[in-house]
Amino acid sequence: MLGPVLLAAARSDSIRRLVSAAPVTRPMVDRFVAGEQLEQCLTNVTSLTGRGMQVTVDHLGEDITDRSEALRNRDAYLALTDALAGAGLAEHAEMSVKLSAFGQALPGGHDLAQRNVLPVVEAATAAGTTVTLDMEDHTTVDSTLAILGQLRERFPRTGAVVQSYLFRTEDDCHALAGEGSRVRLVKGAYKEPADVAFQNKGEVDKAYVRCLKILMAGKGHPMVGSHDPRMVAIAQNLAERYGRKKDEYEFQMLYGIREAEQERLVAQGHGMRVYVPYGTDWYGYFMRRLAERPANMGFFLRSLVSR
Ligand code: FDA
C-alpha cells in the first residue's frame, strides 16, 4: 500500500524538503545514486566498465519548472559527454535523458525539449556514444516517441524506453521493433491510472513477456531492463528461440540493485548495462526506488523514526 503513497510523495515539494534534509537519507541515497558530482560519477563508471559492464549515465533533474533549468540540464549533459569522451569511456558508456529535464512539461514543452536534446544527441554521436530517451508518465509518451522518431532520422541509434504496464505498449513495441532500433523494455515506475495501465503485478509481468517476445522476434536491439530473475530467464530463452547471439540484445539494471546478478550475467558473456544516475536532484529517482521495494521502504522508514 505504501508504494502509491511514495510515488505521490515523489512529486511533492514539501515532502522533498523533509526527506532531503533528514540525515538518515544520505546512506540510502548513496546506495542508488553514483555521486552528486561528475567526478564521483566518473570514478564509479570507470569501476563498472573495468569489471566488464556497459553503462548508461543519467544526470538527475526532472520535472523542471523554468526554461533556464532546461538549459542547465542540457549543458550538464554536454559536459558529461565531454567527460566520458575525455576519459576514454564513450565506447562503453552512453547517456539516458529524461525529456522533462529539457523542458517537456513547460508551455511549448514538446518543441523546447526537442530543441534542447538535439545538441546533446549531436555531441554524443560525435563522441562515439549514444543517447536513450527515458520514458516518464503516460501523458508524455506520445511526445517522447515523436521526438525519438525525429531524432532517429538523423541519429538512428537513439534509444527508446517502453513500459509494459501501459496498455498501449504492445503496439509501441511492434512499431519500434524494426532494423537498427534500440529499445529498453521496463515494467514502469510511475503511478498510473487504471484506464491506461495494468494495476496488478501479475498482469504487468505477463505484458512484459508479451512485449519481450515482440522485441526479441523483431529486428532491433532489445534492452531487457529488469531485475526480475523470471524476466531475465525468459529473455535468455526467447533470445535462444529467436536465434539471437549474445551481442544482439543486452540486459540493463539500475546502479546498486542486484549487483551479484549483474556480475553473474557478465561472467556468462552477456551484455550488461548499468543505469548510473548522478547529481544533486536525486529526490524523485530515490523515491521511485523506495516505492518499488517494500524492504527498502521499511528500512528507510524505520531509520527515520528510530532517531
Ligand atoms: P520487480 O519490481 O518485479 O523486481 C524484481 C526484483 O528485483 C525484486 O524482487 C528485487 O529483488 C529487485 N528489485 C527491484 N527493484 C528494486 C529496488 N528498487 N531496490 C532493490 N531491489 C529491487 N521505469 C520507467 O518508468 N521509465 C524508465 O525510463 C525506466 N528506466 C529504467 C532503466 C533501467 C536500466 C531499469 C532496470 C529500470 C528502469 N525503470 C524505468 C524502472 C522500471 O520501470 C521498474 O520500476 C524497476 O526496474 C523495477 O522493476 P523490475 O523489472 O526490476 O521488477
172 is catalytic: no
pLDDT for 126 equals 98
130-167 pLDDT, tens per residue? Answer: 999 999 999 999 999 999 999 999 999 999 999 999 99
Sorting pLDDT into bands at 50, 70 and 90, what band is 3?
Answer: confident
Element of type H or E holding 227: none
Quote the CA–CA distance of 95 and 278 in Å, as a whole number: 11
User: Which ligand 1 atom lies nearest to the CA of residue 56?
Assistant: 34
24-63 pLDDT, tens per residue? Answer: 678 888 999 999 999 999 999 999 999 999 999 999 998 8
Quote the CA–CA distance of 44 and 255 in Å, as a whole number: 10
pLDDT for 23 equals 72
Q: Are 99 and 73 in contact (CB under 8 A)?
A: no
Task: Give the residue, out of 96, 98, 228, with the most ligand 1 atoms within 8 A of its beta carbon, to mutate for a pocket test.
Answer: 228
CATH of segment(s) 37-281 = 3.20.20.220
Beta carbons within 8 Å of 274's beta carbon, 6+ residues apart? 48, 53, 54, 55, 56, 252, 253, 254, 255, 262
pLDDT for 169 equals 98
pLDDT for 67 equals 95
User: Which ligand 1 atom lies nearest to the CA of residue 223?
Assistant: 34
Q: Where are the domains of the chain?
A: 1-33+286-307, 37-281
Three-class SS state of 299: helix
pLDDT for 10 equals 79
pLDDT, average across residues 70-98: 97
Query: What is the model's pTM?
Result: 0.95
Q: Are 103 and 123 in contact (CB under 8 A)?
A: no
Instruction: Provide ipTM, 2 decimals.
Output: 0.97
Residue of 58, 134, 205, 281 marked catalytic: 134
134 is catalytic: yes
List C-alpha distances in Å: 52 to 2, 40, 48, 196: 36, 19, 7, 38
181-214 pLDDT, tens per residue? Answer: 999 999 999 999 999 999 999 999 999 999 999 9
pLDDT for 1 equals 60
